[in-house]
Structure 1
Amino acid sequence: MERRTYLRALGVAGIAGTAGCLDTVDQALSGGHDGDGILPPPDHPTGASYPEYGEEFPSFSLPDPIAETTVSLEDFVGEKPFLLTYFFTTCPDGACPALLLRLRWIQEDAAEHGYEDDIALLAFTFDPERDTPEVLRKYAGERSIDYEADNWHFLRPETYDEAEEVMTETFNLPLRRVEDEDEAGGNESHDETGDHEDESDHNEHDHGEYTFTHNNLITLVNEDGVVERAYPSAVQSERAVDNEQIVEDTRTVVGVE
């Protein structure tokens, strides 16, 4: 199916550390699960504030700047599962490229095994000031992502304020923009709080104008809009989900034999 035809059919967490892409797990309890998933319950639920196993994923509606359309949760509920991650293209420590690499693995596996029309891959940028449509196209090309495929969508709010609101209020994920002059003070604050995460998840960078603190998260949602997996340590730690596991989980949720 052609991308434009497909799109017309559609109708459209506490922060620790201050550098680059973080892997913080918000410890605020979110309550009990709302239902059962296709996958078995995870071995170690985190009790995080963001949607986890068995919980309904929150409704969203966001622009896809390359396809020039709007992508909503309702486009997928009752239709197909999706994976969603969160990134910015100037991420200096390699974590954001690694997150998108995992979605690219799924895209390649889906093409190879014939379920490319049965999965959606969503990449939400919270840095719209720098992540213009042209930058996103170039970024995808550099990483061998087929951004023109029916199953890939970049999601880009118009402003950072909108992006921050979606991240923190809709997706319930921590996000903080860190200016150059804030780095030293932010690191001291992290030390003073005693809220120490795995140091392999935090890095310091010469990043330019500003960077972000955020979770390195990938969420797998089934076609009923229920979370199957929230991989809270998708990269950069001993808890990182590997290629085989995320592909296997996705195949199971899609129903690929």
Structure 2
Amino acid sequence: MASDDVPSTPALDRRSFLKATGTGGTLAVAATAGCTDLRAADRDDVVLSPPEGYDEDVAAELPHPTYGDEVPEVTIPAPLADREVTTTDFVGERHSLYTFLFTRCSSACPGLMANLVHVQADSLEEGYADDVTLCPVTFDPEHDTPEVLAAYEEDHGVDDDAGNWYTLRPETPAAATDVVDDTFGVTFAETDDADGMAFMHTNLVLVVNEGGHVERAYTGDVPTPADVVDDVRTLLEEW
């Protein structure tokens, strides 16, 4: 994990940031196009079919893990559970979902959080709570204290008693950069937005199978919770 000596991400003027990235609130990412890459159909480390428009060559250029990639190994504190979580803890044990957010966000982050909350609710209703783990990761640890994260969980209807939810919090801004940007490839940057948007960031929800490989990497627009739940159910059925 990065030391406190690593410089924090510099603040950006929002207008300059949007001009540079061509986005309205999230960082631009490469999009796949065309037919599904047939090479992906031969994989034996994933069970879901390749996502629509998947192109292996394009995916290889993306900064974040994508279909078939191994989940990066990193250890992050889970202060509300009074423990640390290593992403590979779940390999051989259960499937896992990750997303990356900050609690002050009023645009994409509530939707990212909602995807994991819906999966947790479905897991409790359908009896697969012991087969999945949900892990939102904050990249704003200076604001997102354990107390703030606890309130955020409560506001979004997280069931902490289910035993399958870990809100992860790198301890410093430098550690957040190391974990979220350098390890997971999720870009974020501080802004000087007068409207209170503290960060611009890439949207990403990862569905990782029990073997430690990515089955889905939803990026760009925030996915619909029903689609994520359907993919998780299919993963459970096919695994």
TM range (shorter): 0.7 to 0.9
Q: Which residue of 2 aligns with 1:44?
A: 53
**2:151 aligned with 1:135, yes or no?**
no
How far does the alpha carbon of each residue in 1:60-85 deviate from its partner, in whole angstroms, 9 at most, with x for none? 11000111101012210011110100
TM-score w.r.t. length of structure 2: 0.79
Map 1:22-101 → 2, pairs under 5 A: 22=26, 24-26=28-30, 35-36=43-44, 37-45=46-54, 47=59, 48-93=62-107, 95-101=108-114
How far does the alpha carbon of each residue in 1:128-187 deviate from its partner, in whole angstroms, 9 at most, with x for none? 000011001111111111134311000001101110111221101212122x2xx5xxxx
The whole-number CA distance in structure 1 between the counterparts of 2:221 and 2:137 is: 15
Which residue identity lines up with residue 91 of structure 2 in the other structure? V
Matched residue SS, 1:135:
helix
The whole-number CA distance in structure 2 between the counterparts of 1:63 and 1:23 is: 26
Which residue identity lines up with residue 212 of structure 2 in the other structure? G
Q: Kindly tell me: are residues 110 and 23 of structure 1, through their superposed partners in 2, closer, same or farther at Cα, counting changes over 3 Å?
A: farther
Q: Which residue of 2 aligns with 1:226?
A: 213
The question of whether the paired residues in 2 share the 8 Å contact of 1:18 and 1:213 is answered with: no
Structure 1 moving runs of 4+ over 6 Å: none
**2:173 aligned with 1:164, yes or no?**
no
Once structures 1 and 2 are overlaid, which stretch shifts more, 140-149 or 61-70?
A: 140-149
The whole-number CA distance in structure 2 between the counterparts of 1:91 and 1:215 is: 13
The whole-number CA distance in structure 2 between the counterparts of 1:224 and 1:43 is: 22
Q: Kindly tell me: are residues 17 and 88 of structure 1, through their superposed partners in 2, closer, same or farther at Cα, counting changes over 3 Å?
A: farther
The question of whether the paired residues in 1 share the 8 Å contact of 2:47 and 2:238 is answered with: no
Map 1:155-194 → 2, pairs under 5 A: 155-178=168-191, 180=192, 183=193
Unaligned runs of 5+ in 2: 1-19, 32-38
CA RMSD of aligned residues (A): 2.5
Displacement of 1:118 after TM fit? 0.5
TM-score w.r.t. length of structure 1: 0.74
- Within the candidate set 2, 16, 31, 2:21 is matched to 16
The question of whether the paired residues in 1 share the 8 Å contact of 2:100 and 2:136 is answered with: yes
The question of whether the paired residues in 2 share the 8 Å contact of 1:18 and 1:212 is answered with: no
The whole-number CA distance in structure 1 between the counterparts of 2:28 and 2:78 is: 27
Which residue identity lines up with residue 224 of structure 1 in the other structure? G
Matched residue SS, 1:154:
coil
The question of whether the paired residues in 1 share the 8 Å contact of 2:95 and 2:207 is answered with: yes
Which residue identity lines up with residue 177 of structure 1 in the other structure? E
The question of whether the paired residues in 1 share the 8 Å contact of 2:186 and 2:204 is answered with: no
Unaligned runs of 5+ in 1: 1-14, 184-204, 236-240
- Within the candidate set 190, 198, 210, 1:211 is matched to 198
Which residue identity lines up with residue 44 of structure 1 in the other structure? G
